[in-house]
Structure 1
């Protein structure tokens, strides 16, 4: 079994008008899409994890013509359920996964640029066919490809989204290198929290990972 992780970048900063509006609001962060389904009537439903000004999320969705209905829950971090009419590009993307023997891993990472990071799981031929079917109007970049090992994914999944974000920043900035190339303060500046919060989350991450490994 193989996997390919690709970044799909639309022109204009979003695959949907609503998604573009959320991506363009500085008080709102789209973290991930946990589910997205194409319904028999041609509309779509999706479940986002969002953080920041959740009242602004609801107000933005109220104003979008492609949104049929929505529900936003949470305080500073929460979920947004969105029922919407997809653009032709989104409809084609979802049809590609339905028409091929491919697994679309969730959650799908949302990027600040408005694009998404997607991991496809299947055999090499099917992955290549899916990638070749992605509309030319989208920019596609390959981030990784290889044998799929779900154990590492399961280990990562025991962490909360905020813990995943801080861990990824710590690894990318060299916190776990010898000697260390980053401090809690450096990581805090990258993810927008306090140094104390970074330290607390990293201790929890290390505790969860180690306890999972020795079970």
Structure 2
């Protein structure tokens, strides 16, 4: 079994009209998409994790013509449920997963410029076919391909985009080497956060990893 990780980026806005509204919103920043499903009636439901003013984002989305229903919860960080009428591009993207024998690994990581970092799982020929089917309205950048290791990938996928960013910087800087080659301050300078926030993120990551090992 193989995987490919690609970044799908629209030429402008977002990957659907509601996503474009979130990209343009000053109230929130997109983090990840936990779930996205194409329903039998051709509409799409999505569950976003966002950072910022969730209530204000919900109000903005209610003014979007493509939104059938929206609800949100959380302060500072939270979730938004969206039920939307897709445009042609978003419908084509969803049909790629339905029409090819690939699995979409969630959560999907939101990137700057309205894109998504997506990992699909299948055999090489099917993955290539799925990538080739991406519509002209978006660009595709291949970030990685290889053998799929579900346990490690599943655990990594439970981390937020910010936690992954901090963890990757910590590993690159040598924070986990013996002797330790980096401090919270070094990592903070790399990712643009305070040292205290870096420490909090790393404690959450370490807690999640250790908990997964103990409960096996």
- How does the TM-score come out when normalised to structure 2? 0.87
User: Post-superposition shift, 1:158?
Assistant: 5.6
Question: Aligned equivalents of 2:110 and 2:153: distance in 1?
Answer: 18
Counterpart secondary structure, 1:105: strand
Alignment CA distance shift 1:29-1:120 (3 Å)? same
In structure 2, the residue matched to 1:11 is 11
Question: Aligned equivalents of 1:158 and 1:105: distance in 2?
Answer: 11
Question: Aligned equivalents of 1:122 and 1:133: distance in 2?
Answer: 15
Alpha-carbon contact 1:8-1:115 (below 8 Å) kept: yes
Question: Aligned equivalents of 2:41 and 2:67: distance in 1?
Answer: 15
Alpha-carbon contact 1:33-1:106 (below 8 Å) kept: yes
Question: Aligned equivalents of 1:187 and 1:117: distance in 2?
Answer: 23
Alignment CA distance shift 1:194-1:69 (3 Å)? same
Q: Please say which of residues 170-179 and 16-25 is displaced more in the overlay.
A: 170-179
2:90 is the counterpart of 1:77? no
2:95 is the counterpart of 1:99? no
User: Post-superposition shift, 1:191?
Assistant: 5.3
Alpha-carbon contact 1:28-1:57 (below 8 Å) kept: yes
Pairwise CA RMSD = 2.5
Alpha-carbon contact 1:32-1:110 (below 8 Å) kept: yes
Question: Aligned equivalents of 2:20 and 2:204: distance in 1?
Answer: 34
Q: How many residues align?
A: 215
Alpha-carbon contact 2:22-2:30 (below 8 Å) kept: yes
2:44 is the counterpart of 1:44? yes
Alpha-carbon contact 1:173-1:182 (below 8 Å) kept: yes
Alignment CA distance shift 1:43-1:207 (3 Å)? closer
Segments of structure 2 that go 5 or more residues without pairing to the other structure are: none
CA deviation vs aligned residue, 1:98-118 (integer Å, no higher than 9, x gap): 011110111111112110011
2:121 is the counterpart of 1:121? yes
Question: Aligned equivalents of 1:186 and 1:40: distance in 2?
Answer: 50
